[in-house]
Chain A
Amino acid sequence: GENVEQHPSTLSVQEGDSAVIKCTYSDSASNYFPWYKQELGKRPQLIIDIRSNVGEKKDQRIAVTLNKTAKHFSLHITETQPEDSAVYFCANGGGGNKLTFGTGTQLKVEL
């Protein structure tokens, strides 16, 4: 079945630095790759997504890259701010509407 590996599990950066989170997947039929942000005690919320016909997508300080050949995709956050501190989940989906989520990355942005 589908499997998504996410690294690192924790990430600490200084304010203003960049943060990168990587995920790998096994299902070659995957064609949808969303990223969710979950603040403490809150629900996961979509921050950016990419489909398999695109290699990169950017939204202000957030970007996602996809390498279908290598079966990995990454989240890039530039100029990190304290409010970026949260748990970030990657996910992927293929046939049907089901998503498989990664194990999450706890990002801490230090002042």
Chain B
Amino acid sequence: DAGVIQSPRHEVTEMGQEVTLRCKPISGHNSLFWYRQTMMRGLELLIYFNNNVPIDDSGMPEDRFSAKMPNASFSTLKIQPSEPRDSAVYFCASSLGGLTQETQYFGPGTRLLVL
């Protein structure tokens, strides 16, 4: 298995531009998570999906952030418009998503820099 796949791996953009981050979870995993990691705030959960349905988006910073999961093998996190304070590493993770807690497997992350 290729593991969780994220693209792009690096993104440099200018303030005000739209940014779209992509994630392909591990095949057969039913839960997908988007995290943001910064030195100041650590590892923050932004949103997670079970069976393609958003379950908890309380971590999404504001309306500029949106996430979708149109099918079991693909999810996007969009920032529009982007701001310098959005600069961070964004991780996608997936897990089996059964009745009990299961291991979350992280993707390699997208390093975002907003100038």
Q: Which residues of A contact B (CB under 8 A)?
A: 31-32, 34, 42-46, 49, 51, 89, 93-94, 96-104
Q: Is the CB of B95 within 8 A of A97?
A: yes
Q: Is the CB of A44 within 8 A of B50?
A: no
Q: Is the CB of B103 within 8 A of A49?
A: yes
Q: For residue B71, which residues in chain A have a CB less than 8 angstroms away from its CB?
A: none
Q: Nearest Cβ in chain B — how far from A35, in angstroms? A: 11
Residue of B nearest to A33 (CB): B101
26 A–B contacts from the bound complex (CB under 8 Å): A32-B100, A34-B104, A42-B108, A43-B91, A43-B108, A44-B91, A44-B106, A45-B106, A46-B104, A49-B103, A51-B101, A89-B43, A96-B56, A97-B31, A97-B48, A97-B55, A97-B101, A97-B102, A98-B48, A99-B101, A99-B104, A100-B45, A101-B42, A101-B43, A102-B42, A104-B42
Q: For residue B55, which residues in chain A have a CB less than 8 angstroms away from its CB?
A: 96-98
Interface of B is mostly: strand
Q: Is the CB of A46 within 8 A of B103?
A: yes
* Most chain A CB within a 10 A radius of its CB, from B100, B101, B103: B101
Q: Is the CB of A44 within 8 A of B101?
A: no
Q: Is the CB of A99 within 8 A of B45?
A: yes
A96→B31 CA distance, assembly (Å): 10
State whether the Cβ of B25 lies closer than 8 Å to any Cβ in chain A: no
Q: For residue A45, which residues in chain B have a CB less than 8 angstroms away from its CB?
A: 106
Q: Nearest Cβ in chain A — how far from B90, in angstroms? A: 11
Candidates A93, A94, A97, A104; contact of B50 at CB < 8 Å: A97
Q: For residue A51, which residues in chain B have a CB less than 8 angstroms away from its CB?
A: 101
Query: 1/0 per residue B56-75: CB within 8 Å of A?
Result: 10000000000000000000
Query: 1/0 per residue B92-105: CB within 8 Å of A?
Result: 00010100111111
